[in-house]
A and B are shown apart, each in its own frame.
Chain A
Amino acid sequence: MTAATVDFTALAGKGANPANRPSTSDIPWNKQKTSPLKIVGTVIGYLGMLCLTIFMVLPFVWMFLAAVKPNNEVFMVPFKWLPSVWHWENYINIWTDSNMLTWLGNTVFFAFCVTFLQVFTGSFAAYGFSKIKFPGRNVLFLIYIATMAVPWQAYMIPQYKILSSIHLTDTRWSIILLQAFGAFGVFMMKQFYDTIPEELSEAARLDGLSEWGIYRRIVLPLSGPSIAALGIITFTNTWNDYMGPLMYLRSPSLQTIQLGLKTFISQNSANYAMVMTGSVMSVLPILIVFLIGQKQFVEGIATSGMKG
């Protein structure tokens, strides 16, 4: 990744000295004195961000506008951004025209269960892989990573057979079990734990803290941002998963949002405005989760306090 090598522990030792904490700013380029060049740079930077913003949200904006268009204007050629008549009532009709509430309820349930299990078992296992040295650890870890490299479409039938043999298909358990034990969470949390200096846990061990104690009192409090990131990502992936629920769920009462939307699309193939309304509605809950989760990113972490 880079040629630069830095003695991490030396830096950490230096940084840990409270006398070396002069200012509150935490990133490099806020430190220089303001120069005219910098102001121009800032303006250009913000303009760039603005362009990027437009580029990023354009399809979503289109989706949002399509949702309130008269149906035959959605795919009109030539392309038109604004509707001739605004059909806000689509946002109300969707609740009566579809089982949106059931879909949302199920999906929220799945997303929370899976996120909880993935974060909980993942961070737990990651601690084992990252902070405890035992024989076979690397082999075991590599097996985890290796399974990520196999396309799911290839092994989904054998997997289906396992869950079917214990009669879990078409139940809530199938989706929860399916998603909760992926290698992704373990891998991700392990890598984040690797960034926590070894000295911290070593020192605690010498102080007689048990492994559980180290995990609970030192590592866990430090992993706020990474848990938030894993949480956001697991939640989003569970939310947007289509193939999993497709394979495992049949009962109408268990349908998830993606499954429901797809059915809705095939039933309303001519009614694209309504389909877009559904798509917009399906995104909003994740945005809420994201906004809550990303609050965890605001504060940097001061490891020095932990050393006591």
Chain B
Amino acid sequence: MKFNHTLKAATAAFAAVVMSAGLAACGSDSAGKTEALDENAKTTITFAGWSLDSTPEFKTLADAFNKEHKNITVELKEYSADDYDTQLTGDISGGSQPDVFPIKNLQKYKTYAESEGLADLSDIAAEYADDDNIDVSNYELDGKYYAMPYRQDSWVLFYNKDMFDKAGVAAPDGTWTWDDYTKAAEELKEKLPAAGYDANSVYPTYQHNWQSVVQGFALAQTGYDVDNTFFKGDFSYLKPYYERALKWQDEGLTIDWNTSNSTKVQYQAQFGTQKAAMLPMGTWFAATLVSQQASGDAEDFTWGMAPIPQNPDESSSDKPVTFGDPTGLAVSSQIDGQKLAAAKEFVKWASGEGGAKALAAIATTPAYFSDAVVDAYFGVDGMASDDLTKQAWQEHDTKPENPVGEGSDTIISLLKDAHSSIMTKTSSIDDALAAAKQNAIDQGAIIE
């Protein structure tokens, strides 16, 4: 059995190598090392993006930045749209992350920020402290900032004006609650067939199958007191929202969840080919819709955005309450010197007015809202530009999609299971929410 000993020794040696590699990958904290940017030095920084051909925002940012900073080249790296976080986890873990990379939501932001793979951007945040056009507070973590927002989408109600007009139903007016939404949907259900729409395939609205379509609104609109609701496992705030969602499904106001989920219905096609008159969705969809109408993938019709319907059971604030996570840009902690300075300059520019104008010009909702940015956005060819759309796009009280804190990953995952149980009616609302709470306690995500 001599060989077994050798094997053990060899394995131990290898394991030591791996572990030290892991340690080395953690890198050093680059906070405080603010290098001055040398505009004359040729510098190349890498920038991660996904679906580069159909998501022009990355290339737009890279090119527009290069116009202002001739010597800094931003080189794009293609990532997967669906599995971006899986790839980025590997990258950061192995210390091979790109110099600048987007962070899709706040929940992942916290995980990455704690990885020591992100450079400290507190100095950029300090410059935005007195700027009312941008809100960077979501990225504050123990007084430090590891990312800057460059996009701030929020959820609005997309509606097809032509379908409302033809059916003779009053279009959203900006004061809707979810009850008004239900009423309008019921009315559409009755009148759409007479207006020449196929009763079998055309629905008044389309509720997509994501858990946020129900849970995001519930959390944002029923008092964002997460310490006493979400983190205590008291999910009763979800109940009225689920009752309505089930009602819409039962009355055939939307495709039922199970069909939508198992046949992978595309919300873009559902609204774009006039199979649904309404669609609660994030503002990113406006860009898709504009480009699909231009290319012919979506049909030609008049549409608009309206503020998302509000909670009928509770008088809300003066601005419509909705949800949406900012998309941030982070800088790798693996770089230093001129490269770091260039990367930080890029992030500062992209999150500021320069980047915002470039993004608005391609119908992407930026995080920086100045008048010039608003003009650029609504100047896009094919963009809806009525007053209600403008109001819906600009004026809202947007909460994060999910609370960020210890255990929130687990709770969200459990609520996802509850979502599918409730929507397929394999479990009652009360049972599913109680089960989610019990599981969260058992897994230590909630401390009672």
Contact = CB atoms under 8 A, between A and B. Distances in A.
Interface of A: 71-72, 75-78, 135-136, 139-140, 156-158, 160-165, 169-170, 246-247, 250-252, 255, 259, 262-263, 266-271
B25 interface: yes
Contacts of B51: 263, 266-267
Given A161-B22, A270-B268, A77 B200 contact: yes
8 contacts: A164-B25, A164-B96, A165-B18, A246-B87, A251-B77, A262-B82, A266-B50, A269-B268
B25 A165 contact: yes
B4 interface: yes
B297 interface: yes
Nearest to B259: A77
B203 to A, nearest CB: 12
Given A77-B200, A136-B1, A164 B266 contact: no
Contacts of B272: 270
Nearest to B267: A269
Name which of A71, A139, A156, A164 has the most chain B CB atoms within 10 A of its CB. A164
Interface residues of B, number: 42
Contacts of B201: 76-77
B21 A161 contact: yes
Given A247-B87, A269-B268, A259 B93 contact: no
Interface in B46-71: 50-51, 53-55
Nearest to A75: B263
B25 A247 contact: no
Interface of B: 1, 3-4, 7, 17-18, 21-22, 24-25, 50-51, 53-55, 77-83, 86-87, 89-90, 93-96, 200-201, 263, 265-266, 268-269, 272-273, 292, 297-298
Given A72-B273, A250-B79, A267-B53, A139 B4 contact: yes
B53 A164 contact: no
Contacts of B77: 250-251
B93 A157 contact: yes
Nearest to A135: B1
Nearest to A77: B201
A246 B89 contact: no
A244 to B, nearest CB: 11
B87 A169 contact: no
A241 to B, nearest CB: 14
Q: Which A-B residue pairs are the 4 nearest by beta carbons?
A: A164-B94, A165-B21, A267-B54, A266-B81
Contacts of B82: 262, 266
Contact of A136 (B4, B24, B80, B269): B4
Nearest to B82: A266
